[in-house]
Structure 1
Amino acid sequence: PLWGWTYYRWWLANRLIESAPVYMIAGSPLYAGWLRLLGARIGPEVVLGTVSLRVPELVTIGEGASLGNGVNLENARVEGGRLHLGPIDIGAHACIGSYVVIEGDTTVGEWGHLEGQSALAGGQAVPARKVWHGSPARERGEFDPASLPPRPAVTRQRLHWERLCYGAGALAVAVLFFMPVFPTFMLIDWLDVEAIAVRPLLDDGSITAWQAFGLRLLKFFVLALPASAVFILATVLLSALIRWAFLPRMQAGRWPVHSNRYLAKWLVNLIQEASLAVLHGIYATVYSASWYRLLGARVGRETELSTALGVVPDMLTLGDGCFIADAVMLGDEHIDGGWMSVQPTVVSRRSFVGNGAYVPDGTTIPENVLIGVMSAVPRNAAMQPGDTWLGAPPLHLPARELVAGFAEHLTFAPSRWRKLARGSVEAFRIAAPHALVIAAGYAIVLDAMPLAEQGRWGAVMLDLAVSGVLFGLATFLFVAVFKWLAVGRYGQRAVPMWTPFVWLSEAATNLYEGVAVPWFLRYLRGTPWLSDALRLLGADIGRGVYLDTTDFTEFDCVHIGEHSELNALCCPQTHLFEDRVMKIDHVRIGSRVTLGPRCTVLYGAQLGDGAQLGPLTLVMKGEGTPAGTRWHGLPAAPWRQAVTGA
């Protein structure tokens, strides 16, 4: 049962496993070794991208299988007040595409293929040598292993050398990305002159110890703002230096996974992942396009880029005025049968790719095309300029909602003043998270120094432990205060992108994702306290709600009834940015509703009491699900219809 002893053991293990920086070894043979240590049964020659597992000991992956990026093996979910665990069995030489969700009690046969942006629900099985795709996954055809070149032979010496290279590369990147810390702290020490010292005030009794801690925190936050800018700039330049000094430009083609070309591609991805921890705030700002250009991508003017995943920069071209929303899997490499293929990915002028969409490599999206939220992109020959596509498999929509009535300088052609104003707000939002961490670090260490000088090491450890917990709570309160002061209460509205409300709203979201979530809320996932924290931000959440997700933005527009269950990666999406207008509305989820892994409910939708959504399900804008019904798919369809179609 939920909240029982078995659930607690699973929850604790899950939180501890998620705290490990596995992005440093994803895509390398070291990752398979790590998962074996956790209990997963993984055969030789398995290639794993950024794969997440909920219960590793219930996962079996056969020899020579390939799993892409953003694959979620969700063999633990909460449904009906109980934790359900189930095995996942992936056969030899199977291929699982990127952005796939697989629940427990599922199997994929030998040479079975599950294509990108698909969902395999509990009880489903992909037969051997079959190709399945979509949400819910359905058979699309046969797979012939002879269509792949023979897997190249590899010597044991080569395997040992590769493991050494991957380990050394991960260690080197970790060390190199620590180097920008030194000029950052040198600048703070230079700015921390005697005239603004806090210690003399504490020594002469003018202030108390708590007042001294608060003054130090405020002082170092101010000093850390310019130092954080140095830290970020140094990280950007270091990333570019490593990228261009040591790694060749990627070319279109096919290479074995045991090749120097694959190793070079892995290192480029590692640089992007390692820099993301520092440069998270750059994404979805006026600075993101320059960052991608620096890595080798060709990005047009007035293009908006958020947190795109799986990017191979040398292979990416974005035209003028494009919009790439959050968490788009954008042109990642394809690995199958021991071979990596990389093809150019092009998004043409003024096209829009929605949140969580999947754009496979080799795609060319024509001008003014809209790819909907969580959608897979159709084959190139199927797309025409001005098209709208939605779902997985993708459906062509004859028309789409257009937002009119806003001047061009508020959407696609901002003035220089608006660019400067937005850039200033976003510069603060980029620097503030680092400044907060640095300030807290200084204040905590200086507070513990007198105890260390007295040799009271037990007291030092206790002081640091308590301070760490209080720091996490303080980061959350900082974000909450910023949200209420800068944005206030969210409500239904439509606002063009180049206006102060949008900049401040995005700043609040960025601080939430970059400060509150990693330092505090991520550890509350799956506990009753996450609901309490989100209520402080404005969310309307009933009693007994289970939340295994922190994917919220406009908190006041989220309404969740009592005893509902939102599993991992679910998102009540309360805004969209089509036509560069931020459209906000409420999402209403009734009581005792269950959302499977990676479900999204768009604004204006309403889920009736007792409704149930299967994995990777999208509820469209303004739609409603009647009470007690079951739904599944991209877009959502009645469960019986969806399963019969499988």
Structure 2
Amino acid sequence: MTQKSLDAEQRAGTGTQRALARLLADVAHLDDVPLDSHFFDELGTDSLVMAHFCARVRKQGDLPDVSMRDVYRHPTIRSLSTVLGGDEPAPAVTAAAPEARPPGPAPPGPEPPPERGSQVLCGALQLLCFVGYAFLLALITARGYDWISTGADLWDDYLRSVVFGAVTLLVLCTLPIVAKWVLIGRWKSRRIPVWSLAYVRFWLVKTLTRANPMALTVGSPLYVLYLRALGARIGRGVTVLSRSVPVCTDLLTVGDRTVIRKDALFGCYRAHDAAIETGTVTLGRDVVVSEATVLDIGTSMGDGAQLGHASSLHPGQHVPDGEHWHGSPGQPTDADFLAVAPARCGAVRRAGHATAQIVMALLVFAPLAVGCLDVLLSKAPRLMTVLEPEPTALADWVFYADLLLVTGVVFFGGVLMALIALAVVPRVLGRLVTPGRVYPLYGVHHAAHRAVTLLTNRRFMTRLFGDSSAVVHYLRWIGYDLSTAEQTGSNFGTAVKHESPLLSSVGRGTMVADG
């Protein structure tokens, strides 16, 4: 066969390649699909078009199935057909970590199915822990309120509220830390069979550490101190914005000045083959972990490395020093995910912010919560008849009418007050933040921006209005610019999130996929 005929055959492709090209041309409304043209960069398709293409391929009985992962990893017809035909070339070897060791023995097989008795015992212990913790909280709250309500005057009530709040906060914050060190000690890389007693200890520590009030300080220096108290090795100037609290903290190492953005997952464990597998996650200095990323166990990033948005590192992957990766699994890229230059944020500013958080919690939030409870119980007799009914009242329809009335007033009144606050407070605080300007963390401007983010991302409100035609009006109410948007249904689901609604604008004909 001559070289010319070989080139012609290569251009024509195999039968599978021609079939795939015809399907893609039909789905993407293209006249021709060259076999070596990039799906996204050259043919101009997007994820929705390629998802439609995968669905069309699966309907063809004579073609192998295609997944979106295959499309992203092999974005041409020729490379895609090579993979589907089983002739995939060996993957490129990425740079290994300096401390990387030769692969060990093959991983153990799946755990044997747990016995029914183990499942029942595990569930009973979990229920017992839950009921006991709830009872403890109820007992502490009741005793504390009784003590506060016996104060001589308003000032005495306030002082007692501060003392009670401080003691309660100290107990709730230290209990999970003590439980971790008593029940677990130091986390090590291991396999924990599900429904075993070791799994109960894992579950209890995970639940307590994530229910700790310190988890509410995410993004502040207090949160970093909390992770250190749990055993994590975290350097100076680290900022963690993700609300997903890591569980196996002794296996987490984070270098100086590293930034972990919100919605990142780095729990240092995973569920696999009927077992919980724990493993290390190691981040060097000046690392950037972008939003909605997943760091599986056994992953690491070198000094100055970056991982892009909605990306992941699979077990064993390592991002070398200074490299930028993205995708799932992560691959090298030239994109820079550090969009803002560093700003000065010294130890004094961090310490001042942490101190202010503690002072606000003890001197403002705790007394305010107690005061609201006192007003409800002492100034609302009808509410008392519902909370503490007489035995004979349960047979009277008036009791249930009062219950319905109180429930309706509390629910709808609370929603109305929340809507008023969401319409006013973010717009007032938003005046302290100028778009396009860089502010250092833990200052007045950062506090205003963070308050707007926390107030306007309430899950209750998005669940109440999301997935319905009311959500567009709700988003307008809190500050979205939807002046040119056209209501065509729900438009936004219950998972809609933002940094600031005052800086969010959506125009006519815009389509954003789920997630």
When normalised by structure 2's length, the TM-score is 0.67
Aligned equivalent of 1:471? 414
In 2, Cα distance between the equivalents of 1:386 and 1:155? 49
Equivalent residues of 2:293, 2:308 under 8 A apart: yes
In 1, Cα distance between the equivalents of 2:207 and 2:500? 32
Matches within 5 A, 1:66-85: none
The answer to whether 1:232 aligns with 2:151 is: no
* 1:594 corresponds to which of 486, 501, 511: 511
RMSD: 4.3
In structure 2, the CA distance between the partners of 1:373 and 1:289, relative to structure 1 (3 Å rule), is: same
Matches within 5 A, 1:502-581: 502-513=446-457, 516-518=458-460, 520-542=461-483, 562-563=487-488, 565-571=491-497
In structure 2, the CA distance between the partners of 1:592 and 1:326, relative to structure 1 (3 Å rule), is: same
Aligned equivalent of 1:286? 221
Q: Matched residue of 1:466: which SS?
A: helix
Q: Matched residue of 1:594: which SS?
A: coil
* 1:266 corresponds to which of 203, 206, 217: 203
Displacement after TM superposition at 1:323 (Å): 1.6
Equivalent residues of 1:305, 1:324 under 8 A apart: yes
Aligned equivalent of 2:285? 349
Equivalent residues of 2:376, 2:383 under 8 A apart: no
The answer to whether 1:337 aligns with 2:297 is: no
Equivalent residues of 1:303, 1:321 under 8 A apart: yes
Question: Rg bigger for which structure?
Answer: 2
Matches within 5 A, 1:259-408: 259-275=196-212, 278-306=213-241, 307-309=243-245, 311-377=247-313, 382-398=318-334, 400=336
In 1, Cα distance between the equivalents of 2:224 and 2:135? 27
Matched to 1:268, the amino acid is: V
Equivalent residues of 1:365, 1:380 under 8 A apart: no
In structure 2, the CA distance between the partners of 1:195 and 1:436, relative to structure 1 (3 Å rule), is: closer
In 2, Cα distance between the equivalents of 1:157 and 1:298? 39
Matched to 2:477, the amino acid is: L
In structure 2, the CA distance between the partners of 1:187 and 1:391, relative to structure 1 (3 Å rule), is: farther
In structure 2, the CA distance between the partners of 1:150 and 1:227, relative to structure 1 (3 Å rule), is: closer
* 2:153 corresponds to which of 173, 180, 194: 194
Aligned equivalent of 2:122? 162
Displacement after TM superposition at 1:239 (Å): 1.8
Task: List per-residue Cα deviations over 1:69-106 (Å, max 9, x = no partner).
Answer: xxxxxxxxxxxxxxxxxxxxxxxxxxxxxxxxxx9xx9
The answer to whether 1:447 aligns with 2:382 is: no
In structure 2, the CA distance between the partners of 1:122 and 1:509, relative to structure 1 (3 Å rule), is: farther
Equivalent residues of 2:481, 2:506 under 8 A apart: no
In 2, Cα distance between the equivalents of 1:316 and 1:442? 44
The answer to whether 1:250 aligns with 2:187 is: yes
Task: List per-residue Cα deviations over 1:381-421 (Å, max 9, x = no partner).
Answer: 552112222232323223526567765xx24xx151x2344
In structure 2, the CA distance between the partners of 1:480 and 1:343, relative to structure 1 (3 Å rule), is: same
Matched to 2:226, the amino acid is: W
Matched to 1:563, the amino acid is: T
In structure 2, the CA distance between the partners of 1:231 and 1:358, relative to structure 1 (3 Å rule), is: same
In 2, Cα distance between the equivalents of 1:228 and 1:121? 57
Task: List per-residue Cα deviations over 1:508-552 (Å, max 9, x = no partner).
Answer: 323444xx444x44322223444333333321235xxxxxxxxxx
In structure 2, the CA distance between the partners of 1:496 and 1:385, relative to structure 1 (3 Å rule), is: farther
In 1, Cα distance between the equivalents of 2:284 and 2:379? 55
Equivalent residues of 1:406, 1:496 under 8 A apart: no
Task: List per-residue Cα deviations over 1:348-383 (Å, max 9, x = no partner).
Answer: 222121121111111111112222221112665552
Equivalent residues of 2:188, 2:250 under 8 A apart: yes
Matches within 5 A, 1:125-164: 134=69, 148-152=108-112, 154-164=114-124
Displacement after TM superposition at 1:464 (Å): 4.2
In structure 2, the CA distance between the partners of 1:224 and 1:279, relative to structure 1 (3 Å rule), is: farther
In structure 2, the CA distance between the partners of 1:174 and 1:369, relative to structure 1 (3 Å rule), is: farther
In 2, Cα distance between the equivalents of 1:571 and 1:399? 24
Higher relative contact order, structure no. (Cα contacts within 8 Å, ≥ 6 residues apart): 1
Task: List per-residue Cα deviations over 1:94-123 (Å, max 9, x = no partner).
Answer: xxxxxxxxx9xx9xxxxxxxxxxxxx9978
Matched to 2:234, the amino acid is: V
In 2, Cα distance between the equivalents of 1:435 and 1:122? 58
Task: List per-residue Cα deviations over 1:487-516 (Å, max 9, x = no partner).
Answer: 327653132333321122113323444xx4
In 2, Cα distance between the equivalents of 1:351 and 1:397? 15
Equivalent residues of 1:134, 1:393 under 8 A apart: no
In 2, Cα distance between the equivalents of 1:352 and 1:180? 42
Equivalent residues of 1:541, 1:562 under 8 A apart: no
* 2:436 corresponds to which of 488, 493, 497: 493
Aligned equivalent of 2:17? none
In 1, Cα distance between the equivalents of 2:116 and 2:337? 58
In 1, Cα distance between the equivalents of 2:166 and 2:57? 50
In structure 2, the CA distance between the partners of 1:495 and 1:472, relative to structure 1 (3 Å rule), is: same
Q: Matched residue of 1:389: which SS?
A: strand
The answer to whether 1:174 aligns with 2:174 is: no
In structure 2, the CA distance between the partners of 1:363 and 1:186, relative to structure 1 (3 Å rule), is: farther
In 2, Cα distance between the equivalents of 1:309 and 1:151? 27
Q: Matched residue of 1:496: which SS?
A: coil
Q: For structure 2, which runs of at least 5 residues remain unmatched after alignment? A: 1-47, 59-64, 75-82, 87-105
The answer to whether 1:457 aligns with 2:457 is: no
Matched to 1:232, the amino acid is: L
In 2, Cα distance between the equivalents of 1:359 and 1:324? 11
Matched to 1:472, the amino acid is: V
Matched to 1:349, the amino acid is: R
In structure 2, the CA distance between the partners of 1:311 and 1:541, relative to structure 1 (3 Å rule), is: farther
Equivalent residues of 1:352, 1:370 under 8 A apart: yes
Displacement after TM superposition at 1:568 (Å): 4.4
Equivalent residues of 1:317, 1:345 under 8 A apart: yes
In 2, Cα distance between the equivalents of 1:366 and 1:385? 4
In 2, Cα distance between the equivalents of 1:187 and 1:478? 32
The answer to whether 1:419 aligns with 2:350 is: yes
Equivalent residues of 1:331, 1:363 under 8 A apart: no
Q: Matched residue of 1:281: which SS?
A: helix
Q: Which moved more, 1:478-487 or 1:278-287?
A: 478-487
Matched to 2:265, the amino acid is: M
Displacement after TM superposition at 1:573 (Å): 5.7
In 2, Cα distance between the equivalents of 1:153 and 1:323? 40
Aligned equivalent of 2:77? none
In 2, Cα distance between the equivalents of 1:452 and 1:375? 52
Task: List per-residue Cα deviations over 1:431-470 (Å, max 9, x = no partner).
Answer: 7676665544433333322675697635642134312321
Q: Matched residue of 1:487: which SS?
A: helix
Equivalent residues of 1:281, 1:429 under 8 A apart: no
Displacement after TM superposition at 1:316 (Å): 1.6
Matched to 2:182, the amino acid is: A
Larger % of strand: which?
1
In 2, Cα distance between the equivalents of 1:122 and 1:596? 17
